[in-house]
Amino acid sequence: MNELTVIIPLYNEQEIINELYDRLSASVASISPDFILLFVDDGSKDHTLEKVMQIATKDKRVKYISFSRNFGHQVAVSAGLDHCQSKAVVIIDGDLQDPPELIPSLYAKYQEGFEVVYARRLKRKGETWFKLLTAKLFYRLMKRITSIDLPLDVGDFRIIDQKIVECLRQMPEQHKFLRGQIAWLGFRQAFVEYERDSRKAGKTGYPLKKMVRFALDGITAFSNSPLRLVTNLGIFISLLSFLIILYALYSHFVLQQTITGWTSLIISSMFIGGVQLLSIGIIGEYISRINTDVRKRPLYIVDKSNIDTN
Ligand code: UDP
Ligand code: MG
């Protein structure tokens, strides 16, 4: 068993690979010579894979897995976790937003006996205000509606013990939300702080659509509050309509004056229609995830790799 494996998910990062490799290997070598750099190419459309393969021919400590197409960041990291055998595992983004030079500090803290050591960002450079705001709102919301203690201001950059890796392998969900899963597992967890850089080159692989899907994966995997909200909304609206029915009957039979209002009708039917669609949508989000879990397809398809899989 190696001392350390570093898992690096890559999606269209060709400009950065060489610098990434240099900085990673220099930083990790200061801890132990016995390490593996495991690059997971998540179906990149540029020359990311070729560059990684080139490096791997020169350096036996470089391993790679490449997917048959883009499966997403969380799946790429999961594939790395499936293929590593080390005492400790570092997960780091491949765009140099997470400085490889911080790994020795993470490792030092890990040596003190923590199974999970997060890198907590003090500042985030080069992010749009929109991303910062939505991220902040999302983590606030998660704190309120889930019972897991999701650490704030951390990404996926962290070091985890082999024990955590074993546990993660046993979690069968198809919609991975690793930071939530790791928080859910517990064990002793600690932090190391750093300033997050902006990306070195290339552009984000997390456009708004993927971010929304990621957020929904997190919420549905760790909270049933949205479902409860729908039920409560249903109860509230049923009570309200009961009162309105009473009023309608009263004004028809007792006051003998039927309301002429088109406005009130259209407003209430639009409102209830909206609430119903939203509620069905929320339920649908959960059902679609049950559906993918039931199918039990493999999480990813490996195209090329230099790891012995037997
Ligand atoms: N990534 C990936 N698959 C994807 C999108 C991103 O493997 O579908 C990788 C990407 O190469 C990077 C890391 O995941 O190493 C974080 O992605 P990115 O920097 O694009 O996200 P952001 O920092 O903008 O949230
Ligand atoms: Mg990034």
Question: Rounded CA gap, 76 and 7, in Å?
Answer: 9
Q: What's the pLDDT score for residue 309?
A: 60
Cα atoms in the 13 Å half-sphere on the side-chain side of 104: 12
pLDDT band at 24 (very low <50, low <70, confident <90, very high): very high
Q: Is the pLDDT of residue 310 over 60?
A: no
- Rounded to an integer, what is the distance from CA 229 to the centroid of its chain? 24
The CATH code of the domain at 4-205 is: 3.90.550.10
User: Closest ligand 1 atom to the C-alpha of 42?
Assistant: 7
Region of residue 165 (phi > 0: left; psi between -120 and 50: alpha; otherwise: beta)? alpha
- The residue whose C-alpha atom lies closest to atom 23 belonging to ligand 1 is 204
On average, the pLDDT of the chain sits at: 87
Tell how strand 35-41 and strand 2-10 pair up: parallel
User: Which bound ligand lies closest to the C-alpha atom of 131?
Assistant: 1
The vertex-102 CA angle with 45 and 213, nearest 5°, equals 45
Segment 214-218 mean pLDDT:
86
Q: Which of 27-31, 126-130, 230-234 has the lowest mean pLDDT?
A: 126-130
Ligand 1-lining residues (CB < 6 angstroms): 9-11, 13, 42, 70, 72-73, 76, 93-95, 97, 199, 204-206
Q: What is the pLDDT of residues 275-302, one digit of tens each?
A: 888 888 888 888 888 888 888 888 999 9
User: Residue 130 pLDDT > 70, yes or no?
Assistant: yes
Closest CA to 156 of 98, 111, 214: 98
149 in helix, strand or coil? coil
Q: Is 72 left (phi over 0), alpha (psi -120 to 50) or beta?
A: left
Rounded CA gap, 64 and 307, in Å?
A: 7
> Is 39 exposed, middle or buried (CB count within 10 Å of its CB: 0-12, 13-18, 19+)?
buried
Atom of ligand 1 nearest to the CA of 199: 19
